[in-house]
Amino acid sequence: MNQTVDIKELNERIQKESSFVDLLTLEMNKVIVGQKHLVESLLTGLLADGHILLEGVPGLAKTLAINTLATIVDAQFSRIQFTPDLLPADLLGTMIYSQKNESFVVKKGPIFTNFVLADEINRAPAKVQSALLEAMQERQVTLGDQTYKLPEPFLVLATQNPIEQEGTYPLPEAQVDRFMLKVVISYPEKNEEQQIIRHNLAQSFPQASKILKPDDIVRARKVVKDVYMDEKIEKYIVDIVFATRFPENYKLERFKEMISYGASPRASISLAAAAKAYAFIKRRGYVIPEDVRAVCHDVMRHRIGLSYEAEANNLSTEEIISEILNTVEVP
């Protein structure tokens, strides 16, 4: 009985705390036409404190969406174009000798910001990827013998182009796993495309207003962690992840030869965190199975390794995840 009261109280509190979500979405929609899933995923990543990998053909407003979000949150934003000749120092910064002080001083790189847009991340060599890895995981950067904390909130939004694979370096599994969500962006609808033309040919391009501060996001993240998740939902998340590792235990024997490796424990953590953030966006104080299902594809699609058999049978991770969601018992 006590818990029911708590949930009711929590629900009211979260409805109050999440009131900015509608405003934020409204501002995003001023600039971004359609792309509802992209906007929702950016919000989920932002509130769940997870990095996002965006995949889509050029011209689908990936950069614009991230830039707009930074404007709304009034956060610092830097865009780094990844190229094959990029060096870790171009990203993190370096030590420069100052003749005036006769000592080395630190010149911080563009990573010292709230939102980092790593554009075409798969174009940079492994050295740069690993430099980004420390920043993503530890939220810190080591220059010389000093370690510097990155600002709060810190979010890496990386884009990769699925078409042109010449001169690209596939991202190492360890790095891909650091991204909470991998969002695949599709083309807009016909009527949306018409609106995009109008927007771009108008006298002035729509601008989003600053409605939040970075501190508001840090505060909201703490509230997101308070969203109630029942033990049954936790078990459901574990079952979904385990079905990628041992499909035969979940009546999915046909996937046994198709999956070369299943999702890591990071997938379970990300699935729970993203589901809580999604419930918060939907202005609810508790997680329901639908929240888990809504974020499952984005959290899992880059965490399942396909075998040669799967590729020969044209089986994608999307189909495997859909099949798992249809088979695993919903609480």
What is the model's pLDDT at position 95?
Answer: 83
Residue found by looking up tokens 């991230």 in the block: 66
**Residues 160, 120 contacting (CB under 8 angstroms):** yes
Q: How far apart are CA 230 and CA 227, in angstroms?
A: 10
pLDDT of residue 3: 52
Q: What is the pLDDT of residue 52?
A: 93
> pLDDT grade, residue 208 (50/70/90)?
confident
Q: What is the CATH number of domain 227-327?
A: 1.10.8.80
Token output for 328: 């695993």
* Token pair of 204 as six digits: 């002035």
Q: What is the mean pLDDT of residues 223-247?
A: 91
Q: How many percent of the chain have pLDDT more than 70?
A: 97
Phi, psi of 263 (to 5 degrees): -75, 150
Q: What is the model's pLDDT at position 5?
A: 47
pLDDT one-digit tens code per residue, 140-193? 888 878 888 999 889 999 888 776 666 677 777 777 888 999 998 888 888 888
37: left (phi over 0), alpha (psi -120 to 50) or beta: alpha
**Paired tokens of 74:** 């009034």
**pLDDT the model gives residue 124:** 83
The rounded distance, in Å, linking the Cα atoms of 221 and 74 is 17
Residue 239's pLDDT band, with cuts at 50, 70 and 90, is very high
Instruction: Tell me the domain boundaries of the chain.
Output: 35-220, 227-327
pLDDT average, residue stretch 101-116: 86
In DSSP terms, 305 is beta-bridged to 261
Reading the block at residue 28, the tokens are 């995003």
Single pTM value for the model? 0.88
Q: Is the pLDDT of residue 104 over 70?
A: yes
Report whether pLDDT(198) > 50: yes
Q: How far apart are CA 222 and CA 48, in angstroms?
A: 9
In this predicted model, what pLDDT tens digit does every residue of 255-289 receive, in sequence order? 888 888 889 899 999 999 999 999 999 988 889 99
pLDDT band at 75 (very low <50, low <70, confident <90, very high): confident
Q: What pLDDT was estimated at residue 167?
A: 61
Confidence of residue 4 (pLDDT cuts 50, 70, 90): low
Fold of 35-220: Rossmann fold (3.40.50)
Q: Look at residue 206 in the predicted model and tell me its pLDDT.
A: 79
pLDDT bracket for residue 290 (50, 70, 90): very high
Query: What is the SS3 string spanning the chain?
Result: CHHHHHHHHHHHHHHHHCHHHHHHHHHHHHHCCCCHHHHHHHHHHHHHCCEEEEECCCCCCHHHHHHHHHHHCCCCEEEEECCCCCCHHHHHEEEEEECCCCEEEEEECCCCCCEEEEECHHHCCHHHHHHHHHHHHHCEEEECCEEEECCCCCEEEEEECCCCCCCCCCCCHHHHCCEEEEEECCCCCHHHHHHHHHHHHCCCCCCCCCCCCHHHHHHHHHHHHCCECCHHHHHHHHHHHHHHHCHHHHCCHHHCCCEEECCCHHHHHHHHHHHHHHHHHCCCCECCHHHHHHHHHHHHCCCCEECHHHHHCCCCHHHHHHHHHHHCCCC
| Mean residue pLDDT across the chain | 86
Contact 123, 129 (CB under 8 A): no
pLDDT above 90 for 16: no
Asked if 48 and 180 count as a contact pair (C-beta separation under 8 A), the reply is: yes
Residue 253: pLDDT band with limits 50, 70, 90: confident
The answer to whether residue 78 scores a pLDDT higher than 60 is yes
